[in-house]
Structure 1
């Protein structure tokens, strides 16, 4: 069974791989995240996940690289990670009382040979109307600061989410079902790692 490398420093992605008992090594790569204008959210996350996987693969002779990138989209506006508390509060105020979409681009690259699969998952998320005071208290916790769209569905912000349509794990940052299917397409059965 090949060694698995996660090209991400996200603790949530590591937790999800641990949850399905997929042993892995973190090989987080800093990549240029600038993109040409006019790309859809799906195109953006797929391009960035490919870029991360390719950068990680350059450090390896063999194994399987998993890379992902997640954004939140409200209509045509893509919301990444907030740069400060004011931006986090602004994002949350825009999301509350509305349905938005979470996109995660996923790339799996197998070495040697460099066979690469890239796809994306989209999940609709409904955030109930939230008062400004609640949002300010949430921002003060610091939780929104390293998350696309300034919230974590698996954390304190769960009290704001009234419903989802699609894969919950995608909103956390790694669409587990899609990942398992992509690995299977490359000849890797996750259950074989379970001992």
Structure 2
């Protein structure tokens, strides 16, 4: 939503605010990745962007989600791997980026470094 960075909610009221005002629509999940290869001091720094289109929650879904506590400790107050995927209309990019770490990107970086490509 614009340029607002949405992190983990501070409390239940913050989670409710995020889920009712920032949840539906386009969400870009951006993860910075930096790998340092000590033997020859090479480093690769990149970022991975995954765009998710989310549908709004109904009032009943919101109340159920809030009561579940799934929102606690989750950036954006939701977790795809814990039921949040039912609100996804579309996803463009890495699902592993959304749930924690862009594994496909890391694999490519590790192959590149160990094959001494650069």
Q: Structure 2-normalised TM-score?
A: 0.87
Deviation per residue, 1:103-147 (Å, 9 max, x gap): 111111222454321111101111112123311221221111111
1:110 partnered with 2:31? no
Distance 1:140 1:129 in 2: 17
Alignment of 1:66-85 (within 5 A): 74-85=1-12
Return 5+ residue gaps in structure 2 as ranges: none
Tell me, yes or no, if the aligned pair for 1:102 and 1:124 is still in contact at 8 Å: yes
SS of aligned partner of 1:78: coil
Within the candidate set 145, 167, 177, 2:94 is matched to: 167
The residue number in structure 2 matching 1:183 is 110
The residue number in structure 2 matching 1:126 is 53
RMSD over aligned CA atoms reads 1.6
Q: Structure 1-normalised TM-score?
A: 0.55
Tell me, yes or no, if the aligned pair for 1:95 and 1:127 is still in contact at 8 Å: no
The residue number in structure 2 matching 1:89 is 16
Deviation per residue, 1:52-73 (Å, 9 max, x gap): xxxxxxxxxxxxxxxxxxxxxx
CA-CA distance at 1:76 after TM superposition: 1.0
Distance 2:104 2:25 in 1: 26
Return 5+ residue gaps in structure 1 as ranges: 1-73, 189-195
CA-CA distance at 1:155 after TM superposition: 1.2
Distance 1:97 1:149 in 2: 11
